Each structure stands twice: as C-alpha cells, then as structure tokens.
Amino acid sequence: MEPLERYRPIIDDFEAFLEACARPLPSVVRVNTIAASLERATAVLREEGVEFEAAAWNPHVLRLTDDAQGPGSTWVSFCGMTHGQEEVSAVPPVVLDPQPGERVWDACAAPGGKATQIAALMDDCGTVVANDSNLGRLSSLRFNAERLGASALAVTHQDARNFSLKPFDFDEFDRALVDAPCSCEGTIRKNPDALDGWSEAHLESVSGVQKGILRRAVQATREGGTVVYSTCTFAPEENEAVVDYVLDAEDCHLREIEIDLEHSPGITAWEGETYDERLERAIRLYPHQNDTGGFFVAKLEVGS
C-alpha cells in the first residue's frame, strides 16, 4: 500500500480509502440485454438460486450477495445473459451514451467488457470497432463478443495511437472510448499484486502512450462527437495530466458527467503542476465511496 500514500493530500477520509483497498472486491455481473431482458435475466438468476441486489445507479449492474458464487460460474453467464464486470468498469460506457446506429470506437477493447456493453446500449445496432494492440488478448475479446451475441462488433488489431480507418467505408466515428492501459492501482482489491513493481518512472512512461491514444481518438471523432477517457488508476500523471495535454493539443472541451454514484471531482493541481480548471468536471471514483474498485472518467466533446 505504500505507493498509495502519495494520494493522501487529494483523497478525503484517506484511512477509509486504505481500509477499502485492503478488502476483497464484491462479485458483480452486468445483465447483457442483447441476449435477455433485465426481467428475464434476473428471473433466471433467481431460479438458479443466485442471490443478488441491483446497483442503485444502474439496474443492469447486479452485485452477487453470495461470496461463493463467482460471476462467471453460473449457467446464466455461460448462456451470455450476464457478464462478470467490476461495477465501476461499467461507468465509462454509460457516460459515453452510445446510440443505436452510431459508429463507435473502443480503442483499447480487450477483453471486451466495455465493448460489449457499448453494443448492448446501442441495441446491437450500428458499428462498434473494438480494437486492441495486444494480439494475445484478442482471443478473449472475440470469445466474449460471441458469447454475448454482440454482432455489431468489428475486432481490429492496431496500435491505437496510429489507428487507421482504411478498412472501413467511413472516415470518422460518432463516439470513442479510450479505456487506456494504465498502472492499474485501482484494481488492488481484485489484484493484490497490482502495486508490485510500481514506480513513478512507469507512470510517466505509460502516460505518453495514453496521450497518444486519446489524441488519436479525438482526431478520429466527428465534430460534436463524444470521447470518453478512463483509467483504473489514481495517478494524476495518467489522468488529469493526460486530458490536460490533449485539451491543449486538440480541438475539444470537457463536459459535465452526471452519474448517481458518490465520487470526487477531478483535480487541477498536483505536485507543482497545474491543470485546466475545467478538469473538475472529470470524476474520481474511490474504493471507499461505493465499495468498488477505483476509476477516473473524463468526458470530452470534439470541437470548440
């Protein structure tokens, strides 16, 4: 937990934060409305004896109350009615708010939880380009797309920083999600070794990749379109600093985020660096606030 001490100045009730980080993460599933309605999926869960409670902010997100029941071990999951997905991981697609018939890019899509959620929010109508640069992770992306019946997905293997639209018959997206590769500090409840090998040098290194991907997402999205940037980490170097850089480099601006979850605003200063004041419109989700993992989410609109 020592690397997390650097965040003491920016996190309210830091001791509660540390205590939450040390607790196991609740098991959560997302109802996949491509395969079944919310009513049908929850009815089958009850028939199977799976105990759950719906998240107050999103009825399609279900917390399994039986610790012995893994999110992927049920017949309902095998049939694609549900998908095991950490609760705050379901936030970025909701903030993106994709609509049926749109063209959406998930720049870093594997293993496919958010990409298939995007397809479900679009009623599986439109095009979701699910890209990942890691060839080894594409098999899990394809598997989840097939299991969940997300026929709107087109899987691509490119470096998102230089993503090319040449294989497609369109030249821009309506929306884009950049759930960027990061230091994963916010996953410590699920991965206790997440902080092994942690270093500030790594934060700076990965932030360069994040800046390149977010810039490309803005460039590839139409005027008036939406780009959502998210990470599962707490480091301002990977969050506000990345968005601040892209706000200066590209024609875009920050939008307010409305979500019925306890959260903290984005920060505008860190260790001598200052960021765009509008970064307070971003949100920081800490483990102690909603008994979840940690996430950062920012919503950008392309154009002045």
Q: Is 14 strand, coil or helix?
A: helix
DSSP assignment letter at 266: P
* Sign of the CA dihedral running 219, 96, 186, 283: positive
| Residue of 230, 246, 241 lying closest to 283 (CA atoms) | 230
Q: Are the beta carbons of 59 and 83 closer than 8 angstroms?
A: no
Q: Are the beta carbons of 266 and 280 closer than 8 angstroms?
A: yes
Catalytic, out of 21, 108, 184, 232: 232
Long-range contacts at 288-292 (CB < 8 A, ≥ 24 apart): 288/13, 288/16, 288/17, 288/19, 288/20, 289/261, 289/262, 289/263, 289/264, 290/87, 290/88, 290/261, 290/262, 291/20, 291/26, 292/25, 292/26, 292/86, 292/87, 292/88
Q: In what order do the strands lie in the sheet with 58-64?
A: 52-55, 58-64, 28-31, 82-84
Query: Beta partners for 254?
Result: 300
232 is catalytic: yes
Residue recorded with tokens 């009815």: 43
Structure-block tokens of residue 53: 């409670």
226 in the Ramachandran plot: left (φ > 0), alpha (ψ -120 to 50) or beta? beta
| Residue of 115, 104, 106, 154 lying closest to 32 (CA atoms) | 115
CA–CA gap between residue 179 and residue 88 (Å, rounded): 12
Residues with catalytic function: 232
